[in-house]
């Protein structure tokens, strides 16, 4: 807790060496000098307390840009999205607190954190004993998974009759989800969307 200017003035007077040479009775020039210095000391004390609050990213406002720089935010997935200070703080805390494991459960949790419910289905190479009708695939399939929204929704938006001229024939939607999962998935894996 920060001290007030009056408390600093009292403390400065109490720190003077004993004796008549530097006695600072009320109203003396030395007492007025120390009283003039005390507001600045109190201001620095308050700013020091404020700095302690900036150390934790969940309540940081002044150092939020530094926290974002340290965590690499906004990343390519969130660039161009306008966020409030509270959303930025939450993103930094989530980035620092995430336990990044290359598992399907981690990716499902990451999707849930940005508002999506997904199902991740791992694929594997066809093996002797697999059910009839199982997809055929070589060993590359051991490093793939299929990402699907639950409930099922298409990842592609198609042009419709009556759309304005110049509209794309098809374009991906839910790009924030695709970018987030693509960023967090292990580099050696391939993600298919359905």
Q: Phi and psi of 77, rounded to 5°?
A: -75, -25
CB atoms within 10 A of CB 151: 7
Q: How far is residue 10's CA from residue 69's CA, in Å, rounded to a whole number?
A: 43
Which pLDDT score, from 0 to 100, does residue 90 have?
85
Which pLDDT score, from 0 to 100, does residue 9 have?
92
Q: What is the pLDDT of residues 101-151, one digit of tens each?
A: 778 888 888 888 888 899 998 888 888 888 887 777 777 788 888 888 887
The larger pLDDT score, comparing residue 97 to residue 86, is at 86
Which pLDDT score, from 0 to 100, does residue 74 have?
83
Reported as a pLDDT band with limits 50, 70 and 90, residue 171 is: confident
Q: How far is residue 170's CA from residue 157's CA, in Å, rounded to a whole number?
A: 5
Q: What is the pLDDT of residues 14-71, one digit of tens each?
A: 888 887 777 767 778 888 899 999 999 999 999 999 888 888 998 899 999 999 999 8
Where are the chain's structural domains? Answer: 5-54, 57-97, 100-193
- End-to-end CA separation in angstroms for the chain: 57
Q: Are 68 and 89 in contact (CB under 8 A)?
A: no
């Amino acid at each position: 807790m920060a001290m007030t200017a009056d408390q600093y003035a009292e403390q400065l007077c109490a720190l003077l060496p004993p004796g008549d040479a530097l006695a600072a009775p009320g109203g003396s020039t030395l007492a007025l000098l120390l009283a003039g210095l005390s507001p600045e000391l109190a201001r620095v004390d308050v700013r020091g307390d404020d700095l302690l609050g900036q150390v934790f990213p969940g309540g940081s406002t002044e150092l939020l840009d530094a926290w974002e720089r340290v965590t690499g935010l906004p990343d390519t997935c969130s660039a161009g999205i306008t966020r409030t200070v509270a959303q930025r703080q939450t993103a930094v805390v989530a980035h620092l607190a995430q336990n990044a494991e290359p598992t399907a459960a981690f990716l499902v949790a990451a999707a849930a954190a940005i508002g999506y419910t997904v199902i991740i289905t791992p694929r594997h190479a066809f093996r002797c004993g697999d059910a009839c009708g199982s997809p055929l695939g070589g060993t590359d399939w051991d490093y793939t998974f299929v990402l699907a929204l639950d409930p099922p929704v298409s990842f592609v938006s198609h042009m419709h009759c009556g759309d304005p001229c110049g509209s794309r024939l098809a374009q991906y939607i839910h790009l924030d989800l695709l970018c987030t999962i693509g960023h967090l998935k292990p580099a050696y894996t391939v993600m298919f969307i359905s």
